[in-house]
Structure 1
Amino acid sequence: MPASEAYDVVVIGAGAGGMTAAAVAAAEGLSVLVIEKTEFVGGTTAWSGGMVWIPGNAQMKQAGLNDSPSEAASYLASTVPEAENADLRETFLARGPEAMDFLEANTEVRLQPVKTYPDYYPEQPGATAGGRVLEPVSFDGVTLGANFARLRAPLPEFTLFGGMMVNRLDIPHLRKVGRSLHSTLRAMRLVSQYALQRLRAPRGTTLHLGNALAGRLYASLLNRNVDILFDASVEQLVIEGDTVKGVAIGDSSGSRNIVARRGVVLATGGFSHDATLREKLFPAGVGLVSATAPAGTGDGLHVALAVGASLNTRVASPAYWVPASRFTRADGSPGIFPHTVTDRAKPGVIAVNAAGKRCVNEALSYHEFVLAMLRDGNAAADRCFYLVCDRRFLWRYGLGRIQPFTVRLRRYVRSGELIEAPSIDALAEAAGLEKSALANTLEKYNVSARIGLDPEFGRGTTIYQRHLGDPGHSPNPCVAPIEQPPFYALRIYPADLGTAIGLQTDRHARVLRKDGSVIPGLYACGNDMGSIMNGNYPGPGITLGPALTFGYIAGRHLAQERGLA
């Protein structure tokens, strides 16, 4: 429970953007309350890869990697061609490194450069092969004490043994268990550490990826005496004159007002789970599949629009996309697996449409992958797509939530999640595809794949695509034939990773009205703020990068308003 009903700053939402704004405001000496709709902090960030895209960051310079404002601006000009929000992109490029330096110096957030993670369009001017992407340094959840239980757990499908997180560098070693002594010993050490952690915690306490970022931000709030109110929803903004002065909230004790002396920051995660807004703003072929945390129902947008805020709908795409598979967990809960980087680009799998034909270069970014699905689907929500592979691929790389080296596949097959067949014709029949079309697709693909080529789509021809492939497979890390029975198909759906349509803001993260004027006392960041990339996806971490940057900007501006910063 909050210690007071009046604060300098009230932040709605405890995802990356909201917690950043709160941590920065608190570090600047302001009293802060965070209001969280669920019982956990972290939002979708806690489920994510935790990548933060910040061109020209200090860490990449320290690692000897070159970048410049002009190169970053050139890259964004080629990948985000629209004029909308150009001023916000300029602000992001100018202040992103500043934000990271502040967080490093004043909070528990620690990020390190990913030296080899190319921008998604490496052929464009100004692109880099790595370093613009920062990842969270691993975090020990034990330091949160009893509050560790308040940190949203990662998706179980991205853990091992019921709760062990694995960082990016450990994955290749786990795939070599039994084939490399060094990798086997490393895996044994990880499992031993995890076993000891489970003696005192319900899941592993060594946190990686987005869970580490969320944990570090949460620790920053706790260490700066930020009050957090869980299981509470914002009902409306409190207005005095033309200025936002607080919020009306509802929780188990009823409805009441909380005063925000400096301002309110909206960071509720966008509207991925608002069916009405999805139907109005999304393409018809998308449906209702989302890979985001379920609390993102547009709460921030709704209360802001009620006081005259402007919604930015001039975007190239209304959301950030990812192909996803659907399943039911053992406990009966529905699951969504986002196919980001673990399987699509590996050698020996293809994506086919309802006609049994390939429709996309499988190694493109997940956003581009779904754009191709939507173009192919002709806005039909029931259009089906499958990932198709053979026994060798499934064993070596896994598929969706089915992890590599899975011996028992029967439960996935019995549930209908995974389709298994002894031949391509039988697979086509089981999936409802035209037999000769799928057979012809595989025959055409395999002829070139045997020598590492993909003349139809050019898979594996850029450094980004090869980065996602298997470096141990040659001559093309992204291409291999599909020819060892049994064969498998997994249905995939267009899904979103977050919304790009959001509130129009200025360079201080202040929410604007339709006439372009500022709503005093109201700020937005994260997915409540309209995408500065206009729904384009230039590289890994282009949602978290702006979320942290504009969360920082909001927190600093709230302090500067009265001369504290």
Structure 2
Amino acid sequence: MTRPGRSGSGGDSQRLPVPVTDRPAADLMTDVVIVGSTPGALCAAIACRQAGLEVLVAEPSGQLGGIAATRGGRLWLPGRDGPTADDYASARDYFDRVVGDFEPCSSAPRRHAFLTGTAGLASWLASLGVDLEPDSAGDAYPDIPGALASGRVLRPALVETTAIGRLVEFLPAGGGSGTDGVLDKLEHGARRVGEFALGRRWGGGAVALESALLAVCQRLQVNIWWQAPVRRLVVTSTGNDFETAERVAGVVVDRGGRTVRVLAGRGVVLAEGGFEADAALRREFLPRPSRPDWTIGLPSRAGADQLEWAGELGLGLAGMGYAWWRPGLWAPGVPVQDAGRSLAVPHGFVVDSTGRRFVNEACAGVDFCRALYARFNDLGPQMSAWLIVDSDHRRRYPLGDVEPGRLPRAAEKSGFVTTASTLPELAWKIKVDASGLQATAGRFERHAADGNDEDFQRGAGTADRARGDRKARPNPCLGAVSKPPFYAVRVVPADLGTKGGLLTDEFSRVLRADGGPMPGLWAIGSAASSVAGPADPAPGVGLAEAMVAGRAAAASIAASAW
């Protein structure tokens, strides 16, 4: 799949590749340019330096790590030696069952390269001094053959971020700790107290991973620019058009208000992409309805430029209809929030505009969003879905970022949460069929008393129970919605970013539409289509995929020649 370029038809020609007939003039010459500073990008940079290549990392924004550095930093790394029996065969069996049929973005060679690279990534990180520790999360579908309920997901250990000097100023503030358990949170809290006492700063989650990798980059003398957006690719050509492009030879970067042409003798690695911030591209490729403000975190449009380059250079695209789906809680004008455990715990359920349930609220996020889109198809794009909870839920569990307990006035004033003394009143306020909502609440109460959801089997599976409240009996996911006041929050198919992008092979080389590689160009992470295709097999698959691909790109670059 390719996307036509828009040059000559209103496109921004200043952002398209620049063809030249011979080796271009340059303000700077290096071996490899890596666009982006995500953990995957830094893995590529480190591996290239270990191969003896000079590297420039060009981060478009003023924040190192991109959006990836604001998240938990989990890595899905099957096949490692450890206390839990695991091997390639079982991981591949599980991955194939969850992802499904082969397609260009999830071909057999790409799956094999990813699943054989995870164990090597773990040992390589350990050799660099990047410490990982077991996470409590397991595979998303632990009841499927080949799955493990624990042991495959790792998280970065807490690190002292001040060790990287001034670069700490360019890490995201308040990055997630990546901790889930009570003891983990206590330890993280103790470290935070120590910051004030000793003048030291600690980071967890993806901030810890980014800091540890940046420390390695400093030791290996990787050149890092920030606030250096790449405006164009430089390509060598036998003519004056893109159809005769022979290879990608460098980039044009804006740095400090100056345009800098950087020649990359070995190649360019695109490590950041995504078009979730582009409303037009979302309408073109993603299911409807779809909005940029349904992206959890900071939406990116880096992939929009890459789609233009793909059209001009005849590059292949894949997985364009896929995203890292998550159910989100949202109201107009209010940032969307990850529904997290809010949907899976007792004393709440999700209904459509008819007042009826349509999905197991405790299922995996991608499955919930598929059911939500199926409901849009049935009832029309104006259909709305709502999480309905009672005072027991409000007292015990969060609603997105709204902590349990008394509802903040701002949450109701902004329209994020709607409250009412009765279910009929709540139905009237959110424009949901009142009789349908009352019938659903009555049926759900009977299911909760029996501990058995006869309609959608909520809480029946291992993964469901892990997402619920283990203290609740007899079913950790079920509890009646019967105690006033009642609350409603709109539920939307949110995402953590898009999954589609440039089609690459198992060596992370960008492929042309004819199936051959584009010399001098590699893509990893959100710049490339995801090997997971339409699925989300486990926490940390996307980050692990980017880091494995970064090492693969470095090995391919080291083996290539001008």
Q: Give TM-score scaled by structure 1 length.
A: 0.87
Q: How many angstroms apart in 2 are the aligned matches of 1:222 and 1:284?
A: 45
- Residues 20 and 551 of structure 1 are in contact (CA less than 8 Å); yes or no, is this contact kept in structure 2? yes
Match of 1:99 among 101, 107, 121: 121
Amino acid at match of 1:170: V
After TM superposition, the structure 1 stretch with the greater mean CA deviation from structure 2, 218-227 or 267-276, is 218-227
What SS is found at the alignment partner of 1:407? coil
2:207 corresponding residue in structure 1: 211
SS in 1 for 2:544: helix
CA distance in 1: counterparts of 2:423 and 2:334, whole angstroms: 29
Native 8 Å contact 2:283 2:290 kept in 1: no
**Residue 90 of structure 1: how far off its partner (Å):** 0.9
Distance, in Å, in 1 between the alignment partners of 2:234 and 2:227 is 20
**How far 1:514 sits from its partner (Å)?**
0.6
Counterpart for residue 417 of structure 1: 416
**Residue 128 of structure 1: how far off its partner (Å):** 1.4
Deviations, residues 98-139 of structure 1 (Å, cap 9, x unaligned): 122112213x4322233x433222232211111121212122
Q: How far did 1:216 drift? A: 2.5
Match of 2:13 in 1: none
Distance (whole Å) between structure 2 residues aligned to residue 350 and residue 229 of structure 1: 48
1:356-397 deviation per Cα after TM superposition (whole angstroms, max 9, x unaligned): 211111111111111111001118444311111111212211
Give the equivalent residue in structure 2 for 1:12: 35
Deviations 1:444-500 (A, max 9, x none): 101111232211110111111111111222221111112221111111211221222
Q: Does 1:293 align with 2:298?
A: yes
Task: Evaluate the alpha carbon distance shift between residue 35 and residue 394 of structure 1 in structure 2; reply closer, same or farther with a 3 A threshold.
Answer: same
Q: Is the 8 A contact 2:524 2:546 kept in 1?
A: yes
Contact 2:156 2:206 in 1 (8 A): yes
Cα gap change, 1:511 to 1:419, in 2 (>3 Å): same
Query: Shift of residue 199 of structure 1?
Result: 7.4
Q: What's 1:362 paired with?
A: 361
Contact 2:314 2:513 survives alignment (8 Å)? yes
List 4+ stretches of structure 1 deviating above 6 A. none
Farther-moved stretch of structure 1 (249-258 vs 48-57): 249-258
Q: Which runs of 5+ in 1 are unaligned?
A: 159-164, 175-185
Give the C-alpha shift of residue 247 in structure 1. Answer: 0.6
- Counterpart among 209, 218, 222 of residue 218 in structure 2: 222
- SS of 1:284 mapped into structure 2: coil
> Which residue pairs with 2:6 in the alignment?
none
Corresponding residue number in structure 1 for 2:240: none
Distance in 2, Cα, partners of 1:190 & 1:522: 41
Count of aligned pairs between the two proteins: 523
Alignment partners' CA distance in 2, 1:499 and 1:101:
29
Distance 1:135 1:387, change over 3 A: same
- The answer as to whether partners of 1:96 and 1:549 remain within 8 angstroms in 2 is yes
One-letter amino acid matched to 1:371: R
* % identity of equivalent residues: 31
Match of 1:543 in 2: 542
Q: Indicate if the aligned counterparts of 1:322 and 1:496 stay in contact, CA closer than 8 A.
A: yes
1:492, 1:205 → 2: CA distance?
Answer: 37
Q: Does 2:252 align with 1:248? A: yes
CA contact (8 A) 1:311 1:503 kept: yes
Shift of residue 200 of structure 1? 8.3
CA RMSD of aligned residues (A): 2.5
CA distance in 2, matches of 1:223, 1:376: 53
Q: Determine the structure 2 residue equivalent to 1:109.
A: 130
**In the TM superposition, what is the alpha-carbon distance from 1:193 to its structure 2 partner?**
4.7
Shift of 1:240: 1.9
Moved more, 31-40 or 288-297: 288-297
Residue 543 of structure 1: how far off its partner (Å): 0.9
Paired residue for 1:442? 441
Q: Is contact 1:41-1:152 (8 Å) kept? A: yes
**Counterpart Cα distance in 2 of 1:470 and 1:40:** 36
Partner of 2:559: 560
- The equivalent residue for 2:87 is 68
2: CA distance, partners of 1:127 / 1:29: 39
Look up the SS of the partner of 1:543 in the other structure: helix
Post-superposition offset of 1:154: 4.4
Instruction: Return the letter of the residue paired with 1:24.
Output: A
> Map of 1:144-293 to 2, 5 A cutoff?
144-154=164-174, 165=177, 167-170=179-182, 186=186, 191=189, 193-195=191-193, 197=195, 205-241=201-237, 242-288=246-292, 289-293=294-298
Unmatched tracts of structure 2, length 5 or more: 1-26, 238-245
In the TM superposition, what is the alpha-carbon distance from 1:526 to its structure 2 partner? 0.2
In structure 2, C-alpha distance between the alignment counterparts of 1:500 and 1:294, rounded to whole Å: 13
Q: Is the 8 A contact 1:291 1:337 kept in 2?
A: yes
**What's the secondary structure of 1:378's corresponding residue?**
helix
Deviation of residue 276 (structure 1)? 2.4
**2:442 alignment partner, SS class:** helix
- Distance in 2, matches of 1:336 and 1:363, equals 19
